[in-house]
Copies of this chain bind each other. A is one copy, B any other.
Amino acid sequence: MEAKRPLILISNDDGYSAKGLNELIKFLHPLAELVVVAPEGARSGSGCAITTTIPVHYSLIKKDIGLSIYKCSGTPTDCIKLSLHTILEGRRPDLIVSGINHGDNSGTNVHYSGTMGVAIEGCLNSIPSIGFSIHSHNPNADFEYTELYIQDITKAILKNGLPPQTCLNVNFPNSSQLKGIKVCEQANGYWTQEWEPCPRKGNENYYWLAGEFVVTNPENDNTDNWALKNDYVAITPIHVDMTAHHFIDELKSWF
């Protein structure tokens, strides 16, 4: 008897029509039954945001054998919460996968990333979860060279699971000359030159978010940022317990 196919819940933050999402569906369809619940439009930079001031709604876009696609008015995190509560009708996914994001989410950008918001939400619900991103903002980026890596990583997590409170942040360089996988630490860094003026009717106080990311530990060859720059696929395991355990004893001495 054939083993039951696993169920993978997919979302992203670029919206249901993004190329990265549709490539991900193509790559994972051979491995599992897929339910896709993705935002109806762009939600880049959503982090783990949830929608608290207006109702959220969803609708079915497409239903095929082993593949259902829904769009949702909310954030990436809302998509996962709504799937687990109602869309999946009580079925529990074996895995939650997000992406493939147009733009990398290495380093401290994990905090702003809606792609990783999906994976963190899965993780908080004790479901193994992965976010995939590529270091290119081109809406027509070439994703072909990521296929075998994405399938291998997905198979490994379907087989092994992930430890409690842990999910994966996987970033691909924009290069077809990949050197392999490197398990990494989150690079440390910050954004600078972040706003471009967008004056409106003489009011100078309008701005577009922009900016450059500065890595503060570029010499550290264990980081995801270093791996990307050197053509490795960067896998950074992410821990949703953010407690600064190393600081607890000192902090206790202050109060």
Question: Contact string, A234-255, partner B, CB cutoff 8 A, digits 1/0?
Answer: 0111111111111110111011
Given the complex, which residues of B lie within 8 Å of A248, measured CB to CB? 183, 185, 237
CA distance A205 to B60 in the complex (A): 10
Listed from nearest, the 4 A-B pairs whose CB atoms lie closest are A239-B244, A237-B244, A47-B48, A47-B47
* Interface residue? A111 (CB, 8 A): yes
A237-B251, A255-B181 known; A242+B190 contact, CB < 8 A: no
A91 interfacial contact with B, CB 8 Å? no
* A203 neighbours in B (Cβ, 8 Å): 57
Contact B48 A111 (CB under 8 A): yes
**Does A85 lie within 8 Å of B195, measured CB to CB?**
yes
Please tell me the number of chain A residues within 8 Å of chain B, measured between CB atoms. 76
Chain A contacts with B in 72-91, Cβ cutoff 8 A = 75, 77-78, 81-82, 85-86
Number of copies: 2
Does any Cβ of B come within 8 Å of A177's Cβ? no
Check A237/B243 contact, CB under 8 A, given A46-B49, A47-B48, A55-B207.
yes
Interface segment among A3-11, A28-36, A61-69, A117-125: the answer is A117-125
A44 within 8 A of B: yes
In the complex, identify which listed stretch (A19-27, A93-101, A140-148, A159-167) lies at the interface while the others stay far away: A159-167
Residues of B within 8 A of A77 (CB): 47, 112
